[in-house]
Chain A
Amino acid sequence: EAGVTQFPSHSVIEKGQTVTLRCDPISGHDNLYWYRRVMGKEIKFLLHFVKESKQDESGMPNNRFLAERTGGTYSTLKVQPAELEDSGVYFCASSYGQKDNSPLHFGNGTRLTVT
């Protein structure tokens, strides 16, 4: 089975520009999560989709971040306009079950650098 895939693997943009990250979860996984690790800090939760619906978006930093999952398949995370503090590695993860201990399957992340 194909794992969680993220695109691009790296992105370097200037402050004020827009970047869109994409995540393709494992087929059949209704739960999709976005996480972020900024330099030197722990991986932090951004938001959680169940199918196409946002279950929890309490971790989204501000309204410059917009996540979508139209059709309940792949998801995009757009940052507009990007700021320097948005630099970090953005991870996507998916899981199958509704139980709170369903294992997360992570993608390899997108390393975003804002200059």
Chain B
Amino acid sequence: TQLLEQSPQFLSIQEGENLTVYCNSSSVFSSLQWYRQEPGEGPVLLVTVVTGGEVKKLKRLTFQFGDARKDSSLHITAAQPGDTGLYLCAGVHTGGFKTIFGAGTRLFVKA
């Protein structure tokens, strides 16, 4: 079974704090995506990483792809209430089109 394990499943923090969400697998992925999902909507792509060791930044969000392309992390600096939502990691295996999703991390940032 090809699984993507996300941790933590739930995170409640105060505004201004930093946090890191992890996505781990025993499988190698050709690419890994991070999505954010709001209630009643579909997932919206935040970033795609494709190279082992790659780091991408999107404002206060930093995404890293592991050297072996089996894991990834999302770091949020100085979290804001607007960051509240469900964060999903998803991976695609080499040569495939099937995207495999993690179960998600539900983040709540309190003002």
- Residue contact B31 to A43, C-beta cutoff 8 Å: no
Residue picked from A4, A48, A59, most chain B C-beta under 10 Å: A48
Determine if A17 is an interface residue (Cβ-Cβ < 8 Å): no
Determine if A55 is an interface residue (Cβ-Cβ < 8 Å): yes
Question: Using Cβ atoms and an 8 Å threshold, which residues of chain A touch B26?
Answer: none
Determine if B45 is an interface residue (Cβ-Cβ < 8 Å): yes
**Which residues of chain B from 33 to 55 have any CB-CB distance to chain A below 8 Å in the complex?**
33, 35, 40-45, 48, 50
* Contact-residue bracket for chain B: 20 to 34
- Residue contact B42 to A56, C-beta cutoff 8 Å: no
Nearest CB of B to A54, in Å: 12
Query: 1/0 contact trace for A1-42 toward B, CB 8 Å?
Result: 000100000000000000000000000000101010000011
Nearest CB of A to B69, in Å: 12
- Residue contact A45 to B42, C-beta cutoff 8 Å: no
Determine if B100 is an interface residue (Cβ-Cβ < 8 Å): yes
Residue picked from A44, A103, A105, A109, most chain B C-beta under 10 Å: A103
Using A55-B97, A100-B92 as known contacts, list a sample of 8 further A-B pairs with CB atoms less than 8 Å apart, ordered by residue number in A: A33-B99, A43-B90, A91-B42, A93-B42, A100-B30, A104-B33, A105-B45, A106-B42
A contact set with B: CB distance below 8 Å: 4, 31, 33, 35, 41-45, 48, 55-56, 58-59, 91, 93, 100-101, 103-109
